[in-house]
Structure 1
Amino acid sequence: MLRAERRREVTSSSRVRRIRCMPVTLPAGNIVGSEVRAYTRGMSRPSPHALSFNRYRELLDREYLALSALVQPTLDRPVPACPGWNGEDLVRHTAIVFLHKAETIRTGEKPSHGWPPLSVGSLPPGALLEHCHARLIEQFDAHEPTDPAQSWVPEDQTVGFWIRRLTHETVIHRFDLEDAAPGTTTSLDPALAVDGVDEVLFVMLARGKPDPEASCGTIRLEVGPHSWDVRLDPQRVVVERDVPADGQATLRADAEQMLLWLWGRAPQPVDAPPTAVELRARLARSL
């Protein structure tokens, strides 16, 4: 995950450093319908925005290739979304996330002792990213999306959870490296951006820590025809999809702008109600 305030241990060159950050071959068959519903089982209602697993894999492959092409141009450049990090720090972080999830799927539980492995420190950043991505794809190819895999979401302990999660992780970090490089950033896939809004609200925000200072206010996020009503209760955030509008304070943006704002990668959309600041601060503590 991608929180600027969270510390992570990441192996770099010849040492393990603590640094800070703000997070192929496709399987046979087109996995849609009931298998997408199985992947999102346990939610109050299956996500209507989930893509097919083949599509996640296509986008993960595309985003990884774009990210890997940015490694050399950004090694020494500061990453705006990750204060104190340069491109090498972000690449090593992303690689270790890939490897951690590959090991989680391979062994059936998340790595603990001796993590990350010291041996990865000898690899230069580009080679490390390639190695860890290959290990991740090896595990994705060896499993069905419905196979068990440990995650922090009790009701979704599947490989499919990580296919979706790491596609979004790679998109955000590809954007981060583009933002660090000279030139312009590439637009996000529109359907993936809508799914990303849904994922960050339900998987991250709705599972965040209690906030005794919460206002109990509600903010409505609108992306085209889609909406999410977010109630900021002290114990937990409650998110509902596509409920009728009833005078709620509303924040409107296109899918890319909304997703990047939620992840702290873009300015707050214009005409934002006061509850938008509270939502973003609470989400930042959940990432």
Structure 2
Amino acid sequence: MKPDYPYALTFARYRELMEKDFARLLELTRSADAAARIPACPDWDVEQLVRHTALVYLQKAETIRTGAKPQGRWVPEDILQLGPAEILETCYQRITGEFDAHDPSDPAESWVTEDQTVGFWIRRLTHETSIHRYDLEAALGDPQPVETELAVDGIDEVLTVMFERGRSAGTDSGPAEVTGHLILESGGASWSVHLLPHDVEISADAAGSSPDASISGEPNDILLWLWGREPLPIQAGDAGLAAELRRRLAATT
């Protein structure tokens, strides 16, 4: 990874946490009712969530292997015919095989111009796995929190990579409804978010700021709120800014 991600973990730690969350995801996939609904994504059932996660793994494995994001009908038919647990395990083996075969600094296409590396995808897919592990547990009534260190890094990732850089990659949240300055504080870290009429500016240093509103809470709680999984943590000031941040996040992630 080339940009300065201030709360990034080591690649060994990302791989360890990804393996742990994947093991839980696979375990639950094998035992869950495939038709159970996903609370945060009511249009999805367990099988759809699992297949989505599997194909994200496979797409990124192909991106690393070939040097470009696959296009067209690229998923082999024999993989599509696999059951939920089988496709999840097969595609996870593909992406971890690519991770094992490369250094994190090796080139790999991504939407972040300054970070075209395999390490980008190690970080991104660790977060992807943790959120969808949580989703599956929530569908079964027993959601467990994201590891604290991963949640702090995850807050930074959703704000600065998925949201801020995602907008520059061509996504659009539509006309601004509310503008202003919002501070998020969690786990000893803080983020300054300026919601502008047609843009957003995010900084990992909110020292000395005088925001219009603030949000604070445990890292897991703020991360899951940012991803639309749980209610808004503690807030102060203009409540409309928190709602506007979530609206723009939902439109661009």
TM-score range, shorter chain: over 0.9
SS in 1 for 2:191: strand
SS in 2 for 1:70: helix
So what's the TM-score if we normalise by structure 1?
Answer: 0.82
Letter in 2 for 1:234: P
Aligned to 2:87: 128
Aligned to 2:199: 236
Residue 210 of structure 1: how far off its partner (Å): 5.8
Aligned to 2:176: 213
Name the CA distance, whole Å, in 1 between partners of 2:179 and 2:155: 21
Q: How does 1:191-202 map to 2 (within 5 A)?
A: 191-202=149-160
2:72 to 82, 98, 113: 113
Q: Is structure 2 residue 129 aligned with structure 1 residue 167?
A: no
Residue 246 of structure 1: how far off its partner (Å): 3.2
How many corresponding residue pairs? Answer: 244
Name the CA distance, whole Å, in 1 between partners of 2:206 and 2:41: 35
SS in 2 for 1:84: strand
Q: Is the 8 A contact 1:74 1:177 kept in 2?
A: no
Residue 214 of structure 1: how far off its partner (Å): 4.6
Name the CA distance, whole Å, in 2 between partners of 1:252 and 1:97: 31
Deviations 1:59-108 (A, max 9, x none): 01101001101103141211111112110111011000000000000000
Aligned to 2:21: 63
Aligned to 1:259: 223
Q: Is the 8 A contact 1:211 1:234 kept in 2?
A: no
Q: How does 1:22-101 map to 2 (within 5 A)?
A: 39-41=1-3, 46-71=4-29, 72-101=31-60
Deviations 1:220-242 (A, max 9, x none): 00103211010011232100112
Give the gaps of 5 or more residues in structure 1.
1-38
Name the CA distance, whole Å, in 1 between partners of 2:177 and 2:214: 18
Letter in 1 for 2:149: A
Aligned to 2:162: 204
Aligned to 2:244: 278
So what's the TM-score if we normalise by structure 2?
Answer: 0.92
Q: Which aligned runs of 4 or more in structure 1 are off by greater than 3 angstroms? A: none
SS in 2 for 1:271: strand
Aligned to 1:186: 144
Aligned to 2:232: 268
What do you get for the CA RMSD once the two structures are aligned?
A: 1.4
Letter in 1 for 2:197: P
Q: Is the deviation greater in 107-116 or in 86-95?
A: 107-116
Name the CA distance, whole Å, in 1 between partners of 2:77 and 2:155: 36
